[in-house]
Amino acid sequence: MKKFYENIKKELIFKKYLKNQIRKEYAIWDDVKFNKQNYNLDYIELWKTAPKASPFIKKRDTNVIYQILVYNFADGNNDGIGDFIGLKNKIPYLVDLGVDQLWLSPIHSASSYHGYSVIDYCDVAEQLGGMTAFIDFLSEAHKNGIKVYLDLVFNHTSYEHPWFQEALYGNKKFEPFYRFEPNYIDHDVKTDTPEVRSKYIKLDQNKKATNRRYLGRFTYGMPDLNLDNKDVIDQLIGVQKFWTAVGVDGFRYDAFAEFYSSEQETKNNFNEAKIFSLLRKASNEITNQENGRDEVFMMGEWVHTDSLKALEYTKYNDEFALDTVYDGFKFFRHNPDVRVPFEELYRVTKMYQDASTKSKWIPFLDNHDVLRWLDSYRMQVSKLKGYQNDKKLTQSEKDAHKIAMMQLLVLPGTPLVYYGNELMYYGTREYGDPSLREPMKWDKVEENSYIFDNKVKESTKDHVLLTSALSLQSADEAQKDKDSLFNFIKFMIELRNANSFISKTDVNTIINPYEVIDSQDYSSFTVRADSKNANRLLLFGFCNYQNPFLHAGKISRKFHFKPLYMYKAKNNSWNIEIEQGGIVIFELIRK
């Protein structure tokens, strides 16, 4: 009975969200006006005629990646879907924040709003403005010192991809691109039924479903590619070369741990590394011809627990493969306690450092697939239920998020900031994945996104709409508010730019707090420097919910020191006092 009433309340809250949307009319992702038919079947030679963006011009060295979902970031043509017109218009916002790298979740023609069901790897979704708008955006980003990384989904395609449609109906060239199974073996095997085909309204519905079985680990709408097939690999190399020729600066490879994860697939942990080595060579063929252009950056998504194994994919024999993986250590994901003991920080940093000369640690709080960090905090610390997401943030929750963002930005690596982190987004999964991906909130009505995906049949899971953000500042308001989290993050990123050692994944840039300060809890302090014996150090400290009131003793007499930032803290002559939710940043100079 209790669950019944909770579900009723959840539905009522969702209806309130629907009523309070800034934009009143929603866009339909599968609208017939986006019904493009001339999708590419062959990608191998497309790089030769690829459109070109302006080259990248380095402006800053903050080493902060900002993840954007283009469909929900900023609408530039007033149709309810975020696009590259709107994103180009918001480049000044990103420059003001200080990020120097963007990771764009999939931008290709796709069956669903999220983009992970790709129909054409060498095109840009019409919903997002198409290729012309993308080139304009990429050129403007480059002129402003921002590198752009694309999300490539090579584990599977869309059910609608022309390769799969050809394969389903017996085309012998394309059948080996996938893995068809005569028998049902496990849940990874899906069946082409009339119900499945009917969901894809752009397909010819006069064609009958084949009832063929195929491998589709994630869902029936995402059939797995056969990555043991050289013809498939050649096509993916063509995709990599195309986007490198366009001028894209790097790639994030989705779910690469799933490339060979099913029982029906080859078991060889090094197949993936070989693929990434081939992809790197393909990109190098392009970048080596362009004087002064950097190699592309290649990072993989890793969601498994064996972190050390993930780093094996940075090399294939003696050849470079991935630059790095992210998510291998799950430091803060679903974890409200962001304290890090020095020994653990040292261990993780050394693991990345030893893996490859290129390898960077890429920590993050949350992303499009997991609970917002603040939502985890509210459930675990504030003891709220997921359906109570309509409750506004308390001051202690705001302080906790501020602490988490500081910790993220001082770790030895390249932190990944998920859009909305700077606005304290706290979306819940109670309304499905779309509520982890709610739109950016802007003052102008026409810049806000509001999307309906008609392939989802649950009323609370088929809308990409504002939920938690309705109670928060808009991005425009946060920019103008000197006390906002946006401006604190801006300050932290400026500090990174002025102190390049903060972004180095190097154990020599990490100093044991025990050598610098007396404390009841050394895991609440991080000390960074250019080297172990550097004359100048930076001390970062905080007091989170685990310490009601942190009395930190004096900074060592070996140093002169001055505060760079203090929040809910006192710098007394005899000690430093930090209240719960407080932050201190000190510059230390050796005497």
Angstrom CA distances, 177 to 41, 102, 169, 240, stand at 12, 31, 13, 18
Asked if 189 and 234 sit in the same domain, the reply is no
Specify the range with the lowest mean pLDDT, choosing from 91-100, 304-313, 443-452. Answer: 304-313
Within a domain: 322: yes
Residue 560: its H or E element = strand 559-571
In a domain? residue 34: yes
Nearest alpha-carbon partner for 418 in 391, 431, 437: 437
Cα–Cα distances (Å) from 468 to 18, 268, 388, 559, in that order, read 12, 43, 11, 45
The angle at the Cα of 510, spanning 374 to 587, to the nearest 5 degrees, equals 85
Please tell me whether residues 269 and 370 are part of one structural domain. yes
Rounded Cα distance between 475 and 517, Å, is 38
Q: Which of 390, 484, 396 is nearest to 435 (CA)?
A: 390
Residue 187 has pLDDT above 60, yes or no: yes
Report whether pLDDT(374) > 90: yes
Whether 388 is in a domain gets the answer: yes
What does pTM read for this prediction? 0.95
Task: Quote the radius of gyration of the chain (alpha carbons, Å).
Answer: 24
Q: 126: closest CA among 54, 185, 39?
A: 39
How many domains are there within the chain?
3
Q: Does any domain span residue 526?
A: yes
Given a cut of 60, whether residue 459 has pLDDT beyond it is no
pLDDT at 346 over 90: yes
Q: 97 in a domain, yes or no?
A: yes
Alpha helix positions (H), 39-178? 70-73, 84-89, 91-97, 130-143, 162-168
pLDDT of residue 261: 63
489 or 201, which is more confident? 489
Quick one: tokens of 114?
A: 């999220």
- Print the domain residue range for 517: 512-590
- Closest to 315 in 3D by CA, of 303, 328, 324: 324
Query: What angle separates helix 485-498 from helix 395-410, to the nearest 10 degrees?
Result: 20
Domain boundary among 432, 462, 496: 496
For residue 165, pLDDT beyond 70? yes
The answer to whether residue 221 sits within a structural domain is no
pLDDT surpassing 80 at residue 424: yes
Q: Which of 496, 523, 551 is the last residue of a domain?
A: 496
Q: How confident is the model at residue 269 (pLDDT cuts 50, 70, 90)?
A: very low
Residue 220 lies in a domain: no
Name the residue type at position 279: L
Does some domain include residue 520? yes
Q: How confident is the model at residue 588 (pLDDT cuts 50, 70, 90)?
A: very high
Report helix, strand and coil shares of the chain as percent, to nearest 5. 35, 20, 45
The percentage of residues in the chain with a pLDDT greater than 90, rounded to a whole number, is 71
Which tens digits make up the pLDDT trace of 228-254? 999 999 999 999 999 999 999 999 999
